[in-house]
């Protein structure tokens, strides 16, 4: 768990190896810098407007990969996103250590603070809160698509 008082604010800037190590090894907590909130909120509004207008946008109102030309009706868009997470929730190989998984979560959260994904701020905050409390997903060495 992170030591009280030490917090690394994520701003989307490159993180040094020492910063990654301090967080991954539990010596430092993480927060989402307030300066990133406007961009995150603006990106989320774009996604919500697209869904409200019923526009066809890859991965938001369509399937993925070979199903990219399959339109998903608005009432099924939330189910689509849940199913995407489920489809990526498996893997094989040795289980990565807690610090390895924490480092990956840190890097992903940092990129999300750039505000280009459409994720809600609460999603990023949850992603950074889990390792700070000694929690996180199991991380297999190889993802469901065979990647490392």
Given 25, 31, 35, 58, the catalytic residue: 58
The answer to whether 116 is a known catalytic residue is no
Q: Which distant-in-sequence residues (6+ apart) come within 8 Å of 51 by Cβ? A: 60, 61, 74, 77
What is the 8-class DSSP label of residue 62? B
Residue 23 burial (CB < 10 Å; 0-12/13-18/19+)?
A: buried
- Spell out a b/e string for 26-61, using b for 16 or more CB atoms within 10 Å of the CB, else e: bebbbebeeebeeebeebbeebeebbeeeeeeeebb
Active site residues: 58
């Amino acid at each position: 768990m992170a030591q009280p008082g030490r917090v690394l604010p994520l701003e989307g800037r490159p993180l040094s190896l020492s910063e990654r190590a301090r967080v991954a090894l539990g010596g430092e907590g993480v927060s989402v810098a307030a300066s990133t909130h406007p961009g995150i909120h603006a990106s989320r509004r774009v996604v919500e407007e697209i869904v409200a207008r019923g526009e066809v946008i890859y991965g938001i109102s369509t399937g993925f990969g070979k199903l990219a030309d399959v339109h998903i009706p608005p009432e099924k868009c939330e189910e689509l996103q849940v199913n995407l997470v489920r489809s990526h929730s498996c893997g094989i190989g040795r289980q990565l250590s807690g610090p390895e998984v924490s480092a990956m979560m840190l890097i992903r959260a940092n990129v999300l603070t750039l505000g280009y994904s459409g994720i809600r701020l609460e999603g990023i905050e949850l992603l950074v809160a889990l390792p700070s409390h000694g929690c996180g997903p199991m991380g297999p060495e190889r993802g469901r698509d065979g990647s490392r």
